[in-house]
Structure 1
Amino acid sequence: MPDLDVSAELALAAQLADAARPIALQHFRTGLHVDAKPAHEFDPVTEADRAIEARIRAILAEARPEDGVLGEEQAETLGQSGRTWVVDPIDGTRAFIAGLPTWCVLIALYGPDGPLLSVIDQPFTGERFSGVTGQGAWLDHGGSRQSLRTRPAVTRVEDAILSTTDPGLFEGAEADCFSRLAQAAKVRRYGLDAYAYAALAAGGVDLVIESGLKPWDVGALIPVVTGAGGVITNWRGGPAHEGGQMLAAATPQLHAQALEQLAAAAL
């Protein structure tokens, strides 16, 4: 959007992440009560999820009353500005309740055509990944900032570090395609949720493959990955910001190889 003040919106995204951090840490590793949403698979939600989203919505209602808000835990708030904040208060709630520090707070600002900028925040480690779609990505940690870049030398699946949250979530043709890719990869690491995409942007993981994602699961991933030089699409090679099947790669060459191998199961 031509009138987007990138610096101001990134600052607001950081303010929202700052507000989420103490709430998340207050509940992490405390044996908190877990509710299960109605679903075929176990889909946990905690008091931390609800409290973080409520706090973020309250700040946005004051700071950006014309903007919409789409979050996982409450009904969508429609806006009039053409912009929407997309929030996953805790991505990786299963990791959160298990006491594993791979969950993240996801905050993205969407324009009419998808995500413009975002923050992936890990309160326990103090890492904050931010990005502007196709322009740049950064890691703030320990009082310093560094620019992020994917591993440009990785152009073959055979040389890649591959990740997915849970290979058991793939079924049928999806499972067959993923299994072939995973077996071909040099290294496989599972269970990282959104943190895998941050690791890809930081030059660690090279390939992330997932399915069944929601818009709030994916919105914050796209600016960080593409800002660091990576490629992120659905399994058909199209825009990924509405969720579903997701493929993120460190380089266009690696993305093309993986896309070809996933084509048989692309929806």
Structure 2
Amino acid sequence: MAELSAQTQAELISVAHDLAQAAREATLAHFRSADLTADNKEVARFDPVTVADRLSEQRMREILARRRPQDAILGEEMGAQPGTSGLTWVLDPIDGTRSFLAGTPTWGVLISVADATGPLYGLIDQPYIGERFEGGFGIARMVGPQWERALQTRAARPMADCLILSTFPEVGTAEEGAAFHRLAKQCRLTRYGTDCYAYALLAAGHVDLVVEAGLQAYDVQAPIAVIEAAGGIVTDWTGAPAHQGGRVLAASSPEVHAAALAVLALA
């Protein structure tokens, strides 16, 4: 599609922040509530959805219906809705519902707008800790209770000095898990359980790698926009585009990405 005008970009940014604010209010109304329960969306494993997930996406869709009715929507809980503009809003109303259920604070809300080539702009919003990470349309910044600062990924460093994050130690299939752990053994420190916050920390320059598998488009499109705006790189495990999900490798620099890719390519 044609390059978006400055006016359109500004409108999309404004809408994205409105969505994030609505999602904050919807999710925090239920976070750490004593009566919070979850339905399981799958049979083989526990894949929870709560009233907060559904309310968060509903509130965001209501705003899009008013402000951007011409755009398509892809949301985790309510699926795909067609549009006519060539733009799609990709929404994860709570990324890290298991963390949300457990009362841990690193779950987030993912919002991005994409065209046929992939994500153009995205937000990683952390409602409980009050941090918001923004990338795209010439912007790379985070705003939180303590400060506002530009986002910039770490400079390249040897794999032995790298910090690597992933949500689950299992990392997908047995084969995918083996590839991840081969890579993790070469790194200085490995941590788990941070959900979308891992990608925010990479964009902010605190870690070098995030490696995951089995992701969906709504899990990764906002992180891609934020990390790329901050100077990082996100692909699948073969180096191809990752905006449809699957196996995802996010790295702080092309050098770290290439080194990690060489290990993961053995899977």
Q: TM-score, normalised by structure 2?
A: 0.95
Q: Deviations over 1:165-184 (max 9, x none)?
A: 00224333212211111111
Measure the CA separation in 2 of the matches of 1:194 and 1:156.
Answer: 25
Stretch of structure 1 that moved more, 141-150 or 79-88? 141-150
Measure the CA separation in 1 of the matches of 2:109 and 2:218.
Answer: 10
Any conservation in 1 of the 2:171–2:180 contact (CA below 8 Å)? Answer: no
Q: Which runs of 5+ in 2 are unaligned?
A: none
Partner of 2:86: 82
Alignment of 1:159-170 (within 5 A): 159-170=161-172
Q: CA offset at residue 144 of structure 1?
A: 4.8
Q: Deviations over 1:66-121 (max 9, x none)?
A: 00000000131000000000000000001000000110000000111110001110
1:111 aligns with 2:115: yes
Partner of 1:124: 128
Any conservation in 1 of the 2:234–2:248 contact (CA below 8 Å)? Answer: yes
Alignment of 1:2-81 (within 5 A): 2-4=3-5, 5-31=8-34, 32-81=36-85
Stretch of structure 1 that moved more, 31-40 or 93-102? 31-40
Measure the CA separation in 2 of the matches of 1:44 and 1:26.
Answer: 18
Alignment of 1:234-249 (within 5 A): 234-249=236-251
Q: CA offset at residue 143 of structure 1?
A: 7.8
Measure the CA separation in 2 of the matches of 1:262 and 1:143.
Answer: 37
Any conservation in 1 of the 2:224–2:243 contact (CA below 8 Å)? Answer: yes
Q: Deviations over 1:137-183 (max 9, x none)?
A: 1101138531100111x332211110110022433321221111111
Stretch of structure 1 that moved more, 256-265 or 141-150? 141-150
Q: Deviations over 1:199-252 (max 9, x none)?
A: 000011210000000011011111100111011000110111000000000111
Partner of 1:157: 159
Q: TM-score, normalised by structure 1?
A: 0.95
Equivalent residues, number: 263
Measure the CA separation in 1 of the matches of 2:159 and 2:173.
Answer: 22
Any conservation in 2 of the 1:128–1:139 contact (CA below 8 Å)? Answer: yes
1:217 aligns with 2:211: no
Q: CA offset at residue 40 of structure 1?
A: 1.9
SS at match of 2:265: helix
Q: CA offset at residue 263 of structure 1?
A: 0.5
In structure 2, the CA distance between the partners of 1:175 and 1:144, relative to structure 1 (3 Å rule), is closer
Any conservation in 1 of the 2:26–2:59 contact (CA below 8 Å)? Answer: no
Q: Which runs of 5+ in 1 are unaligned?
A: none
In structure 2, the CA distance between the partners of 1:39 and 1:138, relative to structure 1 (3 Å rule), is farther
Partner of 2:97: 93
Any conservation in 2 of the 1:161–1:185 contact (CA below 8 Å)? Answer: yes
SS at match of 1:182: helix
SS at match of 2:93: strand
| RMSD after superposition | 1.3
Any conservation in 2 of the 1:200–1:249 contact (CA below 8 Å)? Answer: yes
Measure the CA separation in 1 of the matches of 2:146 and 2:106.
Answer: 21
